[in-house]
Structure 1
Amino acid sequence: MSRMSRPPLHRPLLLPGLPRIWRGRTTLQVGLHPGRAILLDLPDPATAKILDLLDGTRPERAILRAAGTLDLSPADVRALLDVLHETGLVISTQRLYPPALDAPSRALLLSEATALALAADSRQPRFAPPALILRRRRSARIVVTGRGRLGAGIAVGLAEAGIGHVQADLPGPVGLVERIGGPLREAGVGTDRKHAVAQAIGRAAPSTDTRSIRRGTATLVVQLCHDQPVALLALAYLQHRQPYLAVSVREGAAVIGPLVPPGGRPCLNCLALFRQQPPAADPAPAGSDPAGAGPSELMMSGPEPLAVATALAASGYAVAEVLKFVDGTATETIGAEIEVSAPGRIRRRRWKPHPHCVCGQSRRWPEGQKP
């Protein structure tokens, strides 16, 4: 190994949770994943003691000074740091956390930041360090709105993943079923749902802002079940160029998508128009609007039927889609719905823009005019 040719690391951290296994007297394996694990050839096995100093609390120079007190060769320690840094198993705390993040928030986000570092390849030129991703999440504003059992879990999950501002616009009282398999276990039945979810966010991620977000300024809206006609809802989002992700429950399965970017297609109304199209000889379906406003949201009696395990899996999938959008990575739900009928049982359905939907007509409006 050659002498270090990089700048000194600012408070280097060996990613937490990496197993260490001795494969012989002088060979140490760090990590288990086939694409990530490395074998370290340590002529002096005592050099492995340095790994315990890579906890993100001291600069590299302090680690090299500590090596001297342990009678370790500074050259061997530098070589060890070089290998760990080149393979992405050691990262500077500056690249792990945004600089403005306070100590309690760092502690809460340690697992998230570590997972982001492990999922990425720091050797790639377009590598986005966890600090950059968490900074994007910290500045994001997400609204979770509508009716549905999944809303509370999605809102709290987003806050726990580092989203800085989450508004839970979830009207109505907390129902008994919402306390099962979700973050509202401590909420009393009948209490105000908005307040209960805001309290749950405060317990899970105290630094998260839960105040109202001005209409049209959210980074993304998670749209649950709603009462207004789909066409009017989709048009309102279109006029504000507001991106949104639809989430619903249908007969024991959760449906995530489509995610509609600003001015994007297909929108939620496109799907509704395709679904309401009957065979040519059949009459118009009940609930359709002959004037073209589109169908209203179907009304259900009683709580949404959804198994606890399915609700947890679907909430996690929805949270992941929102985070991908915020992080700037590819999502699975643009132009598509994901049906989660059980953990590990997922069906993807693609949709195309409907030729008569308002989202397509908007592209033909004269400039400065709206319907």
Structure 2
Amino acid sequence: MHPMVKPALRRAWRERQTVQFGITPAHAVVVGPVDTATGSFLDLLDGTRGLPLLRDEARSMGLPDGRADALVDRLAAAGLLDDSTAGGRAAEALRNRKVELDRLRADLASLSVTHREPGAAMDRLAARRTMRVQVRGAGRVGAAVAATLSASGVGRVDVLDSGLTPAWDVAPGGLPVESVGERRDVAARQLVRRSAPGRAGRAAGADPGGADAEGPGDMQGGRGPERTERTERTERADARAALASGGGAGLSLVIVAPRDGLAAYAPDPASAERWIATGTPHLYAGVVEATGVVGPLVLPGGTACAGCLTEERTGRDPGWPLMLAQWRSGRRASVTPACDLGLATSVAGLAAAHALSFLDGELPASTGARWEITLPLLDWRSERIAPQPVCPCGAAGELEGEGMVVTGGPHDTMVG
């Protein structure tokens, strides 16, 4: 172990012998009493020394034998220590990809704050490279979600959509103006590849055969200059197969972000049957009529699904099914969607953050719940969606027995 005080947590002395790591209450930790020698020892915890050397340094500072190990154990238990050498082969491989890791250092710092164990941040960042996410929709929300996940180190991000890109789909962080008139799925795949970490180094002249030659960008469908017509045909065939099967096989998560936000606000249970059957987690996100929604994140058999959402809404409003059938069957191809750019960007950002939290092993607040925001006041509000006994998804039965327990809350930690 090479202990390192997490650099993402800023340090400040509360008074002469008490130091606080971290600014916000969610992650701040107070340590004390800290005498002069102990304070000097803390400065040595920078990830460059192993425990044997730290013991020698502590002894030279006049600290008694065993104090170095005790301090390291105490700081680790408080969630203040990282390990610059921790992790398996995947973590070591990521450390060796300098260009890619430099792009992800801010993400790594964030993970070090939210995950207490030494080395946990690097392990989770490396694990993202092995994951496959499918984004269904390449409008203002879906394209931005896909780009964000790719830029955050997710190994493979597939985007499914149809038709050509209109001018109003262009958005910062989403489809560029150059994609107007192009096929949405092709433009979205190009966006995903451009967003992947590691690619900027090659564009700037890095050695294509060096340590950074392979990364998440290469898992998105090949390197730009080396792409062939066969590669494009293969990707299109994969997309058609995914659409035909409903997706699910080998996917870590499906994000449903349709250009018509109605399909996110009131998702069709039939479209999710394949994901329920295969146990594929899926998250809804979109904008409809100046209202943005994120959630629910559905864990099949454990939390409320699209069918539960429909049953719950119908119970409150008996006229809902009739109106919904009319809205779904209406021809609205010529109607420009009411999708404010700022709102769409906010929804995409929140959806991507919830997706990454889930991929990193957490249960974000959208699990079995929906977050909603409406212009012009923009007040986020959440609603818990209860599993419905009449829904065939089985989540209500899990709650009655000893099934999944979903909890949430801040990671407040104060150590005196």
Identify which of 208, 213, 220 aligns with 1:210.
Answer: 220
Counterpart Cα distance in 2 of 1:349 and 1:271: 11
Match of 1:233 among 271, 274, 277: 271
Task: Give the AA of the match of 1:118.
Answer: V
Percent of aligned pairs sharing the same letter: 28
Determine which structure has more spread, i.e. the larger CA radius of gyration: 1
User: Which residue in the other structure is 1:257 paired with?
Assistant: 295
Q: Measure, in 2, the Cα distance between the counterparts of 1:349 and 1:267.
A: 14
* Unpaired segments ≥5 residues, structure 1: 1-8, 364-371
1:143 pairs with one of 120, 134, 149: 134
Alignment of 1:251-330 (within 5 A): 251-264=289-302, 266-272=304-310, 274-275=312-313, 285-286=322-323, 288=325, 299=332, 301-330=334-363
Answering whether residue 131 of structure 2 is matched by residue 98 of structure 1, we say no
1:33 deviation in Å?
4.4
Specify the alignment match of 2:383 in structure 1: 349
Give 1:1-371 correspondences, 5 Å limit: 9-10=1-2, 12-21=3-12, 31-33=22-24, 35-38=28-31, 40-43=34-37, 50=44, 54=46, 56=47, 59=50, 73=61, 75=63, 78=68, 82=72, 85=76, 87-95=78-86, 98-101=91-94, 102-122=97-117, 129-146=120-137, 148-185=139-176, 187-206=178-197, 207-208=215-216, 209-211=219-221, 215-217=247-249, 218-225=251-258, 230-264=268-302, 266-272=304-310, 274-275=312-313, 285-286=322-323, 288=325, 299=332, 301-341=334-374, 345-354=379-388, 357=391, 359=393
Distance 1:236 1:226, change over 3 A: farther
Q: Which residue identity lines up with residue 351 of structure 1 in the other structure?
A: I
2 CA distance for matches of 1:30 and 1:286? 54
Structure 2: state its 5+ residue gaps.
Answer: 198-214, 222-234, 398-416
Query: 1:59-91, CA deviations, whole angstroms, 9 ceiling, x for partnerless residues?
Result: 5567788x69xxx73859947973655544331
TM-score (norm. length: structure 1): 0.71
More helix by share: 2
Structure-1 separation of matches of 2:302 and 2:9: 42
1:100 match: secondary structure: helix
The alpha-carbon deviation at position 92 of structure 1 amounts to 0.9
> Contact (CA 8 Å) 1:230, 1:295: kept in 2 or not?
no
SS at match of 1:184: coil
Q: CA deviation at 1:132?
A: 3.4
| Distance in 1 (alpha carbons) for counterparts of 2:360 and 2:352 | 12
**AA partner of residue 36 (structure 1):** V
Aligned pair in 2 of structure 1 residues 148, 85: CA closer, same or farther (>3 Å)? same
Asked whether the 8 Å contact 2:156–2:220 carries over to 1, the reply is yes
Q: 1:13 to 1:205 in 2, by over 3 A?
A: farther
Residues 254 and 281, structure 2, Cα contact 8 Å, conserved in 1: yes
**Comparing 26-35 with 182-191, which one deviates more in the overlay?**
26-35
Aligned AA for 2:322? P
Quick check: 1:28–1:42 contact (8 Å CA) kept in 2? no
State the 1:233 CA deviation.
0.9
Counterpart Cα distance in 1 of 2:257 and 2:145: 11
Mean alpha-carbon deviation: is it higher for 152-161 or for 222-231? 222-231
- Helix, strand or coil at the partner of 1:94: coil
Equivalent AA in structure 2 for residue 73 of structure 1: M
CA separation of 1:155 and 1:62: change in aligned 2, threshold 3 A: farther
Cα distance in 2 for partners of 1:32, 1:278 equals 44
The residue that corresponds to 2:204 in the other structure is: none
TM-score, normalised relative to structure 2: 0.65
Query: Quick check: 2:302–2:394 contact (8 Å CA) kept in 1?
Result: no
Question: Structure 1 residues 189 and 59, CA, compared in 2 at 3 Å: closer, same or farther?
Answer: farther
Return closer, same or farther for 1:44/1:187 CA change in 2, 3 Å cut-off: same
- Structure 2 CA distance, aligned partners of 1:62 and 1:199? 49
